[in-house]
Amino acid sequence: MINISGLFTNFGSAYGRMVETYIDGTWWTVGDYLENVGKGTKRLLVNAYPFLYGGSSSSVFKGSSPKAAGFAKPTKDIEQRFRD
């Protein structure tokens, strides 16, 4: 058998390895990106449409207003607040 290794065959082999690495890396990056986009979209959809995922609309909003809510009332006059 004839050994055909030379400039062009070595270049072709090296070029093929570079292209393979580039394509594998690109698909890895795209896969990670799409996975994160999917998880973020799912999170947004759960917040926007909780009833689709078995929850109720009020269960999503944790830490909402207390039952007895009111307005703050100042205890000092405005002039006295600036003097203290």
User: How many residues comprise the chain?
Assistant: 84
User: Could you list the pLDDT tens digit for every one of the 84 residues in the chain?
Assistant: 466 667 777 888 888 899 999 999 899 999 999 999 999 888 888 878 877 766 555 555 555 555 555 666 667 677 776 775
Q: What is the structure's pLDDT at 65?
A: 55
Q: How many CB atoms lie within 10 A of CB 48?
A: 9
> What's the N-to-C CA distance of the chain in angstroms?
100
Cα angle, residue 72 at apex, residues 66 and 74 outer, rounded to 5°:
160
Q: What is the structure's pLDDT at 46?
A: 81
Tell me which H or E stretch contains 25: helix 7-48
Query: CA 2 to CA 33: how far, in whole Å?
Result: 47
Q: What is the structure's pLDDT at 42?
A: 86
